[in-house]
Amino acid sequence: MRQALKKYKNQERVRYKNKWERGGDIKERIPNTNPIFSGIVTGFTMGEGSFIVCITESKTHYTGYQVMPCFKISLKKDDYKILEQIRDYLRCGKVVKFRDTATFLVRKLDEIVEVIIPFFDKYPLQNIKQHDFLLFKIICYKLLSGEGKTIDGIRRIYEIRKHMNNGGHKNRKKISF
């Protein structure tokens, strides 16, 4: 009896990996609206921003693959302070320096869903990146619903990702499921 109860409890833990799968509400954490600075963030994103979804092989994930969404803005290393202001304004992500570039990165799914997606819903992009954002948003919500934990879900995410960034990189690895 104890073993059956313990096994049942372990199954419950495995099934619910994040608060949204347990029925938790998505709390939007949009910064206090400053339309001028919000326009600046949107402008930098249109010029130097990217919505990325990486699918990599993983030995630690049940499916053998890991899906990682990422939002980033990259500028010259000299413009590091601008990216810090964007980070402070959005209250999420981090700024990293590498060689001659500085990059504002948001990789945590909760920050993407609670800050980045509502921000760009409120202040939409006005160029081709709006299409990439909408596909990125669909993928993030699929991850929230748990589709990143099954091979079929990862296949669907992979098919959506193929349409991002004008078809993606020509040298992108093909994934065989």
pTM of the model: 0.79
Residue 176: pLDDT band (50, 70, 90) is low
Domains of the chain: 21-161 (3.10.28.10)
Determine the distance from the C-alpha atom of residue 113 to the mean position of all C-alpha atoms in its chain, rounded to a whole number. Answer: 7
For residue 101, pLDDT beyond 50: yes
Q: How far apart are CA 91 and CA 27, in angstroms?
A: 14
Determine the distance from the C-alpha atom of residue 175 to the mean position of all C-alpha atoms in its chain, rounded to a whole number. Answer: 20
Question: What does each C-alpha distance from 105 to 61, 75, 112 come to in angstroms?
Answer: 23, 12, 10
- The per-residue pLDDT of the chain, averaged, comes to 82
- What are 36-71's pLDDT values in tens digits? 888 999 999 999 999 999 998 888 888 888 999 999
